[in-house]
Amino acid sequence: MKTKLAGLLVLLLLLLLLVPAGWVSAGGRSATMDRFVDQLAEWLEPAGTAGGPTKSFTIGPGEELHEVSQRLAQGGVVRNPLLLRLLLRYHGLDREVRAGRYSLSSDVSLSELVRTLVVGQIELVRVTVPEGWRAEEIAALLEKTHVASGEEFLSLVHTPGHPPLTTRMVAPSLEGFLFPDTYLVPRDFGARAFLDLMLQTFEAKVRSEQVTPSVGGVSPSSGLHPTLSFYDQVVLASVVEREAKIPEERSPIAATFLNRLRDEMYLAADPTVQYALAPAFLPAPPWGYWKRELTTEDLRVSSPYNTYTVRGLPPTPIANPGLAALAAVMNPEPGPYRFFVAKSDGSHAFGVTFEEHMSNVSRYQGER
């Protein structure tokens, strides 16, 4: 039925397009006729595959309408490329189709498609930044998705600046404040724009009800953790994010690290050594930015980030923590642990005393 009506609409448009211009200007083609044509086109299409995927489509500058309509048909966006061309010409829009990149659904109606092609469209790119990524990983993703220059992004990140939520301190870099989230941005959004968006998201999330940081520092009123500045809280949260493979363990891991800091013990956190081993530029080394199996020699690397040989926190965040890791540090739950060891499934066995820890090491290190 629709196929026959589509043919009739093609004939109708052809007849209307053959009407002399003077007759049209005298009112031969009414607004009622225009609405009828649009409504019929709206009903006849979606022209492609109903429920099909959204497709990226590029129209080059000066590209002929015939070629554009044929490629739309080949891509499954329209069934009848002639009908699309006639509808555009009927409305005098055949020379108004804009060059650019489009995201077009395969069940878009003809009238919607006409409006989109004439108005133009900015194709949005979905950029998902996982919790615990470092700036170099984000930069590589921005490069891959054509959102921004990875090198420019890294340069901006590692330029001293003011982190969100404080204006009293200039941090050596913005690592740690690049909030992990899914962002919808235009292609070629730009490094500065994407960095600003991540920083704004960090501030909005951390100011939310779930996390209430103390910008001036965390008070050790409970006696279970040391005084930490706001920046130190983010540094520690980045270590917790990398260490905790299971969400439920963020809180006990944060408590363990806070207890170790209070007792002036080494943090002895593998992720800080992994960070020290990988260069702060693109591309990543052969093993990636997080070397999975650390050797005894790796644990002796000379670096201020090596928390096996240097007491206290690393000098900067080593990754970008999510809301849960930030909450675990900024609103800590007291815990008795001072040690933990990884199990083969990614979880950890926690210990209060060194003897308990060595027993856990003996039990679980053999299964890794």
Q: Residue 223: inside a domain, yes or no?
A: no
> Considering the entire predicted model, what is its pTM?
0.69
Q: What is the mean pLDDT of residues 281-300?
A: 88
Is 126 within 8 Å of 108 (Cβ atoms)?
A: no
pLDDT-based confidence at residue 43 (cuts at 50, 70, 90)? low
The phi and psi torsions of 304 (rounded to 5 degrees) equal -65, -15
| Domain stop point among 72, 101, 119 | 119
pLDDT at residue 231 in the model: 92
Average pLDDT, the chain: 81
Q: Residue 54: inside a domain, yes or no?
A: yes
Q: Residue 225: inside a domain, yes or no?
A: no
Q: Residue 215: inside a domain, yes or no?
A: no
pLDDT at residue 183 in the model: 92
**Percent of the chain residues past pLDDT 70, beyond the cut:** 79
Residues 47 and 78 in one domain: yes
Q: What is the mean pLDDT of residues 109-134?
A: 84
Q: What is the mean pLDDT of residues 64-83?
A: 85
Residues 129 and 107 in one domain: no
Which residues is 55 bridged to in the sheet?
104
| Domain stop point among 206, 238, 258 | 206
Length of the chain measured in residues: 368
The phi and psi torsions of 185 (rounded to 5 degrees) equal -135, 160
For 337-368, write each residue's pLDDT tens digit.
Answer: 998 888 888 888 888 888 888 888 878 876 54
Residues 107 and 144 in one domain: no
Q: Cα–Cα distance between 69 and 63 in angstroms, integer?
A: 10
Residues 272 and 302 in one domain: yes
pLDDT at residue 332 in the model: 86
pLDDT at residue 38 in the model: 64
**Percent of the chain residues past pLDDT 90, beyond the cut:** 39
Q: Residue 212: inside a domain, yes or no?
A: no
Residue from 239, 248, 245 nearest 274 by CA: 239
pLDDT at residue 81 in the model: 83
Residues 110 and 159 in one domain: no
| Domain stop point among 104, 119, 134 | 119
Tokens of 152: 């420019």
Q: Residue 193: inside a domain, yes or no?
A: yes
Domain of 268? Answer: 230-367
More confident residue, 168 or 138: 138
Q: What is the mean pLDDT of residues 171-177?
A: 94
pLDDT at residue 220 in the model: 39
Residues 131 and 111 in one domain: no
Say if residue 51's pLDDT is above 90: no
pLDDT-based confidence at residue 41 (cuts at 50, 70, 90)? low
pLDDT-based confidence at residue 270 (cuts at 50, 70, 90)? very high
Q: How far is CA 296 from CA 84, 125, 293, 299, in A?
A: 68, 43, 10, 5
DSSP string, 184-198: EEETT--HHHHHHHH
- Which of 1-15, 137-151, 174-188 has the least mean pLDDT? 1-15
How many domains, the chain?
A: 3
Residues 134 and 111 in one domain: no
pLDDT at residue 1 in the model: 47
Tokens of 187: 């292609």
Q: Residue 177: inside a domain, yes or no?
A: yes
Q: Cα–Cα distance between 241 and 315 in angstroms, integer?
A: 16
Q: What is the mean pLDDT of residues 316-340?
A: 91
Q: Residue 216: inside a domain, yes or no?
A: no
Tokens of 249: 């363990």
For 155-164, write each residue's pLDDT tens digit.
Answer: 999 999 888 8
Residues 65 and 99 in one domain: yes
Residues 87 and 181 in one domain: no
Which residues is 96 bridged to in the sheet?
none
Residues 258 and 156 in one domain: no
Residues 189 and 298 in one domain: no
Residues 71 and 10 in one domain: yes
